[in-house]
Amino acid sequence: MSTLVKTGLLHACAGASPALGGWFLFSGERIDAVGLPGEPCPPADDVLDFSDCSVMPGLIDGHTHFSLSHSDEIDPMPVMRQLGEPGPRKICKAIMYAGEHLRAGVTTVRGMGEDDFIDFDLKAAIAAGYIDGPRVSPAGAFISPTHGHGQTGQTVSDGVEGTRKNCRVNLAKGADLLKVFGSGGVVSGQAGLGYCTSTLAELRVAVEEAAALGKYVAAHVHGGPGIDLCLEAGVRSLEHATLCTDEQIERVAAAGAWVTVTFSPLSHPSGLRGLDPLKQSRLEAIRRTYYAVVGKMLARGVKMCMGTDGVHGAMWFEAAEMEKCGATRRQCLEFITRRAAESCRMENDIGTIAPGKYADFIALRGDPLEDLAHLRSVAAVYQGGARKG
Ligand SMILES: [Zn+2]
């Protein structure tokens, strides 16, 4: 059965000019055709009339964790404790958060690490239709050493062979990527933002194991020598990169590595809260530098996408903060759709409204190129041609 989608304004590909009165046709899960400007609509079995809306590809969150939220009002607790909660409890919360993503227009999420491998189960349950949620590109368990960020004691990756084993466990379960650590984090214990807890050999073996199955590695890294070690090891995507120096930005650009920018935990009202003085000082150090660092990355042409890192559905906020760094609105829309699809290596399936790709799209009650705030006025969400919100 074919379905014709009529739009007021069609943003088929973020970065390109939108088409007034644009239309596209899909059957089943995939898009068949996209109308050229002025081209008459073809006949179809069904019609979705969004003539009073802007329509654009579904949003892509490049970095989050389904098992945690910085703003859990039901049972507030530090994020590291949330990660270590029993698996079934995390799954229950993850189902709720998956719904929050969808309702906010996020149709794909890259899961950047979970204990109990819940992202694999979540992905399978969504794909089977047991629950609604975004498409999931899972990393599985963190590849972190005993004293590293994100370590809850469940999958400890020490030394080359210890690291290799946990990489292989994740890959066997269906990981699209492996998540390693090139520095501590805001909520870490001993490991601060400028210290690297992984050795070059450990980072290299993760890259080697991922590449052996055609996968890639993403590294949590704020600053310090870990950024250089990750680049040297061949890590494909740097997560956060909040304290990147000017020299390191040059090296990131030269290496063609991706950066996933995450403003939400730092600056969103539902971001990191209630920290002790040490962790609060780390957070403030990042806040002071991040907007300038991202502005420099923009100027240097570093490949970027964005992620909410536990503020579920807040891609509108990520886009708005990116505009403050000097990005054009077109770039902001690219980072949360087309560029994110490339970063996730899913560009053949998602990221634009184009023949052959999934019919993942959202209707907005306003043009996001006029004001990015319209990303919040979601009128309808479709995933694989099915209405989800
Ligand atoms: Zn994260």
In the numeric block, which tokens belong to residue 16?
């390109």
- 2-57+351-387 maps to which CATH number? 2.30.40.10
Axis-axis angle for helices 315-324, 277-300 (nearest 10): 70
Strand boundaries in 194-348, DSSP class E: 216-221, 237-240, 258-261, 303-306
Question: 112 C-alpha to center of ligand 1: Å?
Answer: 6
The confidence score (pLDDT) of residue 37 equals 73
pLDDT in tens, the chain (389 residues): 999 999 999 999 998 999 999 999 999 999 999 998 778 889 999 999 999 999 999 999 999 999 998 877 777 778 888 888 999 999 999 999 999 999 999 999 999 999 999 999 999 999 999 999 999 999 999 999 999 888 888 889 999 999 999 999 999 999 999 999 999 988 777 778 889 999 999 999 999 999 999 999 999 999 999 999 999 999 999 999 999 999 999 999 999 999 999 999 898 888 877 788 888 888 888 888 999 999 999 999 999 999 999 999 999 999 999 999 999 999 999 999 999 999 999 999 999 999 999 999 999 999 999 999 999 999 999 999 999 97
Q: How many residues does the chain have?
A: 389
Give the max Cα distance, the chain: 63
Contact 111, 67 (CB under 8 A): no
Q: Ligand 1 mean position to 122 CA, how many Å?
A: 17
Do residues 62 and 236 touch, judged by C-beta distance below 8 A? no
- Report how far residue 62's alpha carbon sits from residue 304's, in angstroms, rounded to the nearest whole number: 10
Distance 145 CA to ligand 1 centre (A): 16
Q: How far is the CA of 3 from the centre of ligand 1 (A)?
A: 38
96-99: long-range pairs with CB below 8 Å, 24+:
97/66, 97/69, 97/312, 98/66, 98/122, 98/126, 98/131, 98/132, 98/133, 98/134, 99/132, 99/133
Give the residue range(s) of CATH 3.20.20.140 domains in the chain.
59-343
Residue 357 to residues 28, 29, 30, 346, 387, Cα–Cα distance (Å): 11, 8, 5, 10, 16
What is the 128 CA–ligand 1 centroid distance (Å)? 26
Q: How far is the CA of 308 from the centre of ligand 1 (A)?
A: 8
Phi, psi of 173 (to 5 degrees): -85, -10
Cβ neighbourhood burial of 17 (10 Å; 0-12, 13-18, 19+): exposed
For residue 178, the model assigns a pLDDT of 98
> How many Å lie between the centroid of ligand 1 and the Cα of residue 240?
8
| Numbered ranges of CATH 2.30.40.10 in the chain | 2-57+351-387
Superfamily of domain 59-343: Metal-dependent hydrolases (3.20.20.140)
- Single-letter amino acid code for the residue at 128: A
Q: What is the pLDDT of residue 153?
A: 82
Distance 57 CA to ligand 1 centre (A): 24
Helices 159-173, 200-212: axis angle to 10 degrees equals 30
Ligand 1 mean position, distance from CA 137 (Å)? 14
End-to-end CA distance of the chain: 21
| Residue 74: per-residue pLDDT | 77
How far, in Å, is the centroid of ligand 1 from the Cα of 115?
13
Would you say 106 and 115 are in contact if contact means Cβ atoms under 8 Å apart? no
**Ligand 1 center to residue 265 CA distance, Å?**
9
Instruction: Count CB atoms within 10 A of the CB of residue 120.
Output: 20
- pLDDT reported for residue 187: 79
Q: Ligand 1 mean position to 373 CA, how many Å?
A: 25
Cα 354 to ligand 1 centre (Å): 30
Which pLDDT score, from 0 to 100, does residue 185 have?
86
User: What residues form DSSP beta bridges with 32?
Assistant: none
